Structure 1
Amino acid sequence: MGSEPPSPPQVIDEGGDEEDEELSGGEEADLRVSSGRGSLLTRRGITLRVLLKDGLVEPGDGVLSIHYLGKKFVGDLLCDGKIRWVETGQIFNSPSAWATHCKRLVNPAKKSGCGWASVRYRGQKLVQYKTSWLHKYQPSADMSLASEGEDDDMGDEDEEEGKATVQTEEKNRKSKPELHDISLVQRRGDRDRVPVRYCTLGTRDSARDPHTLVELSAFSAINRFQPFNVAVSSNVLLLMDFHCHLTTSEVVGYLGGRWDTNTQLLTVLRAFPCRTRLADRDSAPAVEEEICQNLFMRGLSLVGWYHSHPRGPALPSLQDIDSQMDHQLRLQGSNNGFQPCLGIICGPYYHGNQGVASTITPFWVVPPPEQRPNDYGIPVAVEVTYVQDNFLTTDVLNEMMLLVEFYKAAPDLVQFSQMWSPDTTILDKIKGSLSGHAPKDQAYSQILEHVYNQLRNTH
């Protein structure tokens, strides 16, 4: 859902491991001990061009892949031995350059990509094709040449990822919301869920309930600094809070704003509620397209998403953690560089909240330690500066009325006349929660009263 047209293909060579680098034709020849097919070609000289020339691999779209920390990257193998990343169209000179680039998007601390051990051709590691070449053309060569140093950087990380890939992808398709496919978001039950500490989770377990809530960690608790600053407009909070109050079912929406690379400031300026049922595959594409156009017309970028836990704590579930990691990767991959993606959870009707105000929780996910690639990401609390707007925009008011219209006949519409507490109706609770975000000017209070009157008339 980016608002900017894709940039032309860019050739990237990130270095990676020195001995994994692709060589020019002249360099390949120099690395042969003698001329001719029977010459001994060093391991470094066996490049994708060599494998293509000798027929061990063939060019093709989507034939290359990388699996890293639960994420999958797909690439095209070009006729000249270069790699085109399907996500962005960028061109990479070598497996190491592509692997390093992709892995740094997931884990910025990653130093190298170890391409031949990480990149797979039609499901099989490239290093195995290198070994096959040696068996075929240099059977007398020391086979250690084919594997020496290939896995120094990886350990068992890639192998474990490979084993878990099919299971993980199938699980993700069924459970987690895609940034570009609202229809995949599944409703959660309203049962009480007791949050667990991240340190108790351990390795992923398919038997574990994906709705398990996880307490947030602080960046300082994992020896990190928050890598960006965040400012959120009060109008964003008001519209998001209003949306989450209207139904007993979970809702979702997107966040628009701007990312300043110089100041490392993410400014969230607009909420875009998704006016669709979460499992409605028919209407989801149209809603997505409308939001995409709205972002573009306002000169905004997609900077995050929000969703509700209607009657539970505003803490991420295991499913939310995977979704947030996926969203972070999508935004980074689309912009060829680091850009944070903010997740926000709103808990409007949890009786553990203080007073009538919803609990609003901004969060981010840090990738698991590299030596434990099958652990869950680490959910961390994001410190946010809330900026009070001086007035309600026409956009916000129109969106509120559209939401009332959308939900007014829904079976899961909240009964606003019912009591939230012995002396407070649910409608009064909504007013109290939204009052913390609304401008203090009396004129805007009267405008909001008009919206509340519409709520009264929905039953």
Structure 2
Amino acid sequence: MRSNQKAILLSLWNFFCVVEEGGEEEEEELSGGEESDLRTPSGRGSLLTRRGITLRVLLKDGLVEPGDGVLSIHYLGKKFVGDLLNDGKIRWVETGQIFNSPSAWATHCKRLVNPAKKSGCGWASVRYRGQKLVQYKTSWLHKYQPRIDASNVLSLTDISLVPRRGDRERIPVRYCTLGTRDAARDPHTLVELSAFSAINRFQPFNVAVSSNVLLLMDFHCHLTTSEVVGYLGGRWDTNTQLLTVLRAFPCRTRLADRDSASAVEEEICQNLFMRGLSLVGWYHSHPRGPALPSLQDIDSQMDHQLRLQGSSNGFQPCLGIICGPYYHGNQGVASTITPFWVVPPPEQRPNDYGIPVAVEVTYVQDNFLTSDVLNEMMLLVDFYRAAPDLVQFHQFWCPDTTMMDKIKGSLSGHAPKDQAYSQILEHVYNQLINTH
């Protein structure tokens, strides 16, 4: 993935996933296997994933210290206090019971309050001196793994600086064939999505996506032969369990253009705040391949779910979307757009990959094309105008369809109710043609 995009996206996730200032929280069950040690034999510089960091690692490297009463859990109005022992175990102050991990302690305490609770989301629930442990994981990775492009978990898409096989050769595999994690497996391996019903689950939230979000996202993904990435802004209603996606925020960055990283981050943050929106997800493209998650996407999505779960709003879903604009396996000219989520592996198999599942979404047709979306489209045109990876729109996508016809046809599926938008988009298309 482009290194400056990584820095922007990781920083922005950390920015929005601030430590909660006390209070109650109800969290989704996302803790499968988070304590397992996945450190490879090569030591600290190796691929130690976020879920492979333990309290012993944090103690050994000096990010936390043992102490009495330094750990706490706030859950549904109840507070639990624990001691952090020298060996990384937790002693519950009230009973003296010893727990091997934050998840084990959190699960036990939460079940006392809510017997139906199946897991404890320990790293997002347990606080060390008032700060959630998940933040200490982030600090460890920043300190000891500065080259985040090597981490499957922290890279937000399957874009890599290392050359890989063409997208058309990436044949998806079924999740059931994966088994336990294998460091030798290609992280760009695509995985077919499961249905919630196939794993005996119900989709834990509803999703509504604005047609203008789809239009801007699809437009962004069509502009370049390289993979792109962006954020999704919206609102989460805890009463109705509805996640509404209202705006897409494309990341306009070029390869190795590190100087623009802070400006892009600040602009996205300001846009979210000015519109009263929350960060609710992310999107990226597979330009010529199936719109299915890779193993790296699965780990990234799980990581983002945990990050948003630890935000100041308590639990909220994090939606991942993959757009496949130029895959010849698509039906017609329309891009394949795939919303997905990741369910943790079964508790008895903590070292398995998370399970990618298809998310059912309601698409809401907007009445008109907003000036915000139009402005963003023009900014994207200007950004990619001189890029070497700009799509050649006069060339043919298939024998009777040019690239320009392709993008027009795909975007027509997200048309607002007011048909006057077509004249506006023609102006945008003309700008694209004039970029060559």
TM-score by length of 2: 0.69
Shift of the alpha carbon at 1:250?
0.1
Give CA-to-partner distance per residue, 1:21-50, whole Å, 9 cap, x none.
Answer: 999999999999999999999999999999
Residues in 2 aligned to 1:137 and 1:305: alpha-carbon distance in whole angstroms: 26
Identity among equivalent positions (%) equals 93
Shift of the alpha carbon at 1:281?
3.8
Task: Kindly report which structure 2 residues correspond to 1:288-437, keeping only aligned pairs within 5 A, or say none.
Answer: 288-335=265-312, 337-437=314-414
Instruction: Please tell me whether the aligned partners of residues 232 and 386 of structure 1 are also in contact (alpha carbons under 8 angstroms).
Output: yes
Residues in 1 aligned to 2:424 and 2:38: alpha-carbon distance in whole angstroms: 77
* Match for residue 219 of structure 1 among 196, 203, 221: 196
Shift of the alpha carbon at 1:277?
2.8
Instruction: Please tell me whether the aligned partners of residues 275 and 287 of structure 1 are also in contact (alpha carbons under 8 angstroms).
Output: yes
Give CA-to-partner distance per residue, 1:71-122, whole Å, 9 cap, x none.
Answer: 9999997999999999999999996797449999999986466999999999
Residues in 1 aligned to 2:194 and 2:319: alpha-carbon distance in whole angstroms: 16
Residues in 1 aligned to 2:369 and 2:145: alpha-carbon distance in whole angstroms: 74
Shift of the alpha carbon at 1:59?
5.7
Shift of the alpha carbon at 1:190?
3.2
TM-score by length of 1: 0.66
Residues in 2 aligned to 1:342 and 1:112: alpha-carbon distance in whole angstroms: 21
Shift of the alpha carbon at 1:334?
1.3
Shift of the alpha carbon at 1:171?
3.2
Residues in 2 aligned to 1:134 and 1:188: alpha-carbon distance in whole angstroms: 29
Residues in 2 aligned to 1:205 and 1:26: alpha-carbon distance in whole angstroms: 15
Shift of the alpha carbon at 1:287?
1.2
Determine the structure 1 residue equivalent to 2:55.
48
The size of the alignment, in residue pairs, is: 419
Instruction: Please tell me whether the aligned partners of residues 236 and 271 of structure 1 are also in contact (alpha carbons under 8 angstroms).
Output: yes
Instruction: Please tell me whether the aligned partners of residues 253 and 305 of structure 1 are also in contact (alpha carbons under 8 angstroms).
Output: yes
Residues in 2 aligned to 1:298 and 1:107: alpha-carbon distance in whole angstroms: 36
Residues in 2 aligned to 1:36 and 1:319: alpha-carbon distance in whole angstroms: 21
Instruction: Please tell me whether the aligned partners of residues 154 and 303 of structure 2 are also in contact (alpha carbons under 8 angstroms).
Output: no
Does the C-alpha gap of structure 1 residues 416 and 29 become closer, same or farther in structure 2, counting only changes over 3 Å?
closer
Instruction: Please tell me whether the aligned partners of residues 105 and 332 of structure 1 are also in contact (alpha carbons under 8 angstroms).
Output: no
Residues in 2 aligned to 1:69 and 1:242: alpha-carbon distance in whole angstroms: 44
Q: Alignment partner of 1:232: what SS?
A: strand
Shift of the alpha carbon at 1:438?
1.6
Instruction: Please tell me whether the aligned partners of residues 153 and 303 of structure 2 are also in contact (alpha carbons under 8 angstroms).
Output: no
* Match for residue 90 of structure 2 among 83, 89, 112: 83
Gaps of 5+ in 2: 1-17
Shift of the alpha carbon at 1:289?
1.9
Does the C-alpha gap of structure 1 residues 301 and 72 become closer, same or farther in structure 2, counting only changes over 3 Å?
farther
Instruction: Please tell me whether the aligned partners of residues 218 and 381 of structure 1 are also in contact (alpha carbons under 8 angstroms).
Output: yes
Give CA-to-partner distance per residue, 1:428-456, whole Å, 9 cap, x none.
Answer: 11000000102243321100000000001
Does the C-alpha gap of structure 1 residues 17 and 445 become closer, same or farther in structure 2, counting only changes over 3 Å?
closer
Shift of the alpha carbon at 1:67?
20
Residues in 1 aligned to 2:388 and 2:49: alpha-carbon distance in whole angstroms: 70
Instruction: Please tell me whether the aligned partners of residues 47 and 150 of structure 2 are also in contact (alpha carbons under 8 angstroms).
Output: no
* Match for residue 122 of structure 2 among 107, 115, 118: 115
Shift of the alpha carbon at 1:420?
1.3
Does the C-alpha gap of structure 1 residues 63 and 192 become closer, same or farther in structure 2, counting only changes over 3 Å?
farther
Residues in 1 aligned to 2:386 and 2:42: alpha-carbon distance in whole angstroms: 80
Deviates more, 1:372-381 or 1:93-102: 93-102
Q: Alignment partner of 2:392: what SS?
A: coil
Give CA-to-partner distance per residue, 1:135-191, whole Å, 9 cap, x none.
Answer: 99999xxxxxxxxxxxxxxxxxxxxxxxxxxx999633675xxx6999999998534
Residues in 1 aligned to 2:186 and 2:38: alpha-carbon distance in whole angstroms: 54
Deviates more, 1:95-104 or 1:399-408: 95-104
Residues in 2 aligned to 1:25 and 1:318: alpha-carbon distance in whole angstroms: 17
Give CA-to-partner distance per residue, 1:318-366, whole Å, 9 cap, x none.
Answer: 0000010011110001136321100000000000001100000000000
Instruction: Please tell me whether the aligned partners of residues 39 and 46 of structure 2 are also in contact (alpha carbons under 8 angstroms).
Output: yes
Shift of the alpha carbon at 1:285?
3.0
